[in-house]
Amino acid sequence: MTMPARPDFVVTLSGVALALCAMVVSAHADPWIPAAGDGVVKPMVRLFDSSSAYSASGFTTGTIPASTQQETQFRVTGSAGIGDGFSIEYDLRAGRLRSARIKHHRSIAQSGSGLEDQTIGLNYGLTQTPDFADSVTLNVVLPTGSTSAAPALGAGHFALEPDVQAGVIDGRFSATIAAGARIFPVSGVTQLRSTVYAGLRVWPRLSVFATGFVSRTIQQPKALRLTDQAEVYNIVRVGAGVTYRLSAMLRPFFEYESTMAGQGIHAGRRIVVGVAIRY
């Protein structure tokens, strides 16, 4: 059910929500560590669109009308084996964010483009078998996204991401999960986060998959300084997509994502188009 609009909330939300859109969200878990010199890189384009938001007063599935939010993001994720059970993981982003709202019957638009926050880390394999794997990861989030732009392109603060990953493969079915935290040492803000993935090979070259992402921040926004509120991220997002094995090296993919619940953030839809390149 859609709740009635509150103009003061809509105006306040515009700046904060776009900073959240620019924040790094974990890629699909990959607990299988590639051999030294092997890896995968996934360049992709992500298109986000929204005209509604979740109330800042509590975590909810109901939305209210809000400013229009649009993002075109260029993202590269991947992992590279470096030997001794370790791999390097990365999530690199740049994009263009646009916000527009109506004031006194006139459209007021703001936009920003450039680098967003980047993530890089180490993944260490524990159990590594063909049908089961788990690993531990420590990522570093680098605040390369500008916070002086309107809208902001990042959270503006350094963060650490320790997590655990696990995965299973059973014939044509595969599933992975990553769970951990994003910790901002300066403010102490902590997000508890989890990413899940399930895939099924329906034809020799074609697979379908479903994804889910959950983030809940321990602290409430009203207890934080204004400069730290962009670190609050409360959302549930689900997705579904297809991937095609074009060759042993190339696997193009398409995914549609939608937010299902949140707090103090825009609700929207996202289309993802990319290709996985294995080497």
Question: Domain extents for the chain?
Answer: 7-278
For 140, the token pair is: 């570093």
Sign of CA pseudo-dihedral 176, 209, 183, 87: positive
Q: How many residues does the chain have?
A: 279
Question: What is the pLDDT at residue 195?
Answer: 97
Residue 224 has a CB neighbour count (10 Å cut-off) of 17
Tell which residue, 131, 140, 32, has the closest CA to residue 79: 32
Looking at residue 11, the DSSP 8-state letter turns out to be H
For 117, the token pair is: 């926050």
Measured in whole angstroms, the distance separating CA 48 from the mean position of its chain's CA atoms is 12
Phi first, then psi, for residue 45 (nearest 5°) are -120, 135
Question: What is the pLDDT at residue 27?
Answer: 60
Tell which residue, 37, 28, 93, 101, has the closest CA to residue 66: 101
Question: What is the pLDDT at residue 110?
Answer: 87
Task: Give CA–CA dist 201/65, Å, rounded.
Answer: 39
CATH of domain 7-278: 2.40.160.40
Kindly state the helix (H) or strand (E) to which residue 10 belongs, with its residue range.
helix 7-22
Radius of gyration of the chain (CA): 19
Amino acid at the residue 205: R
For 242, the token pair is: 């297809």
Taking every pair of Cα atoms in the chain, the longest distance, rounded to a whole number of angstroms, is 62
Question: What is the pLDDT at residue 8?
Answer: 41
Q: Rounded to two decimals, what is the model's pTM?
A: 0.86
Question: What is the pLDDT at residue 215?
Answer: 97
What pLDDT tens digit does each residue of the chain (279 aa) get? Answer: 333 344 343 434 444 444 444 444 446 679 999 999 999 999 999 999 999 999 998 999 999 999 999 999 999 999 999 999 999 999 999 999 999 887 777 878 888 899 999 999 999 999 999 999 999 999 999 999 988 877 788 888 999 999 999 999 999 999 999 999 999 998 999 999 999 999 999 999 999 999 999 999 998 777 777 767 778 999 999 999 999 999 999 999 999 999 999 999 999 999 999 999 999
Question: What is the pLDDT at residue 148?
Answer: 80
Tell which residue, 101, 78, 74, has the closest CA to residue 89: 78
Cβ distance 31 to 163 under 8 Å? Answer: no
Contacts with 103 (C-beta within 8 Å, 6 or more apart), sequence order: none
Task: Give CA–CA dist 251/41, Å, rounded.
Answer: 11
